[in-house]
A and B are shown apart, each in its own frame.
Chain A
Amino acid sequence: DVKVTQSSRYLVKRTGEKVFLECVQDMDHENMFWYRQDPGLGLRLIYFSYDVKMKEKGDIPEGYSVSREKKERFSLILESASTNQTSMYLCASSFYRAAPGLFGSGNEQYFGPGTRLTVT
């Protein structure tokens, strides 16, 4: 079974603090993702990575950065936490099954349990 783990289930931080959220997957997946989920807004993609040291912005990257130094680990960094970053953060990974330029089958994502971050 695919296992995606996140460093904390619940986290409380103060405004202005630097926050690190860690995600680890054990299935040798190429792709990793960070989402945030807020009531009424659904899941929104923050950043994704398709290879070590590679990253791409998602829909809402402002205020966040990411790091992928090893294939199994993808970190989300809040440089200076703000109250509007209070949210549920979800990490996911997927196996890149198609040849470059071709997409589709088997690119299902596997999610971690989530980290509920509160910034006060």
Chain B
Amino acid sequence: DAKTTQPTSMDCAEGRAANLPCNHSTISGNEYVYWYRQIHSQGPQYIIHGLKNNETNEMASLIITEDRKSSTLILPHATLRDTAVYYCIASNTGGFKTIFGAGTRLFVKA
């Protein structure tokens, strides 16, 4: 799995969009970008994944740059319940050796 780099923490105002960046400059052509989040004292929750194209689901949008060296997870209208640690992972190993780094701690403030 390619190494990913994320900011340690970010703040966001409630109701505003939260944009979480991730750098994966060594990503290989067959590696997907996955995002998970972990709310305090719970197991991680899968959010979204993508290869080249931008993706959107009911939880979030994923924007991947054309060179695939970075991506941004967008929570369009952040709520207090979105306060969590967000993990960005680049993987092609079927999850067998998924590496969860330190992630970004997102604080959504009222």
Contact = CB atoms under 8 A, between A and B. Distances in A.
Interface of A: 4, 31, 33, 35, 42-43, 45, 48, 50, 56, 58, 90-92, 94, 96, 98, 103-114
B102 A98 contact: no
Contacts of B32: 104-105, 107
Give the size range of B's interface with the partner.
20 to 34
A31 B95 contact: yes
The interface residues of chain A, by DSSP majority, are classed as: strand
B94 A56 contact: no
B49 A113 contact: no
Q: Which of B34, B42, B95 lies at the interface centre, i.e. has the most chain A CB atoms within 10 A of its CB?
A: B95
B46 to A, nearest CB: 4
Given A48-B96, A103-B92, A105-B32, A111 B49 contact: no
B49 A109 contact: no
B14 interface: no
Contacts of A43: 44, 100
Given A42-B101, A105-B32, A107-B91, A90 B96 contact: no
Contacts of A50: 96
Given A42-B103, A108-B49, A111-B45, 11 more contacts: A4-B43, A42-B101, A43-B100, A50-B96, A92-B95, A104-B32, A105-B32, A108-B95, A109-B44, A113-B42, A114-B43
Interface in B77-110: 91-98, 100-103
Contacts of B31: 104
B51 interface: yes
B25 interface: no
A110 B46 contact: yes
B37 to A, nearest CB: 11
A96 B97 CA distance: 14
B43 A96 contact: no
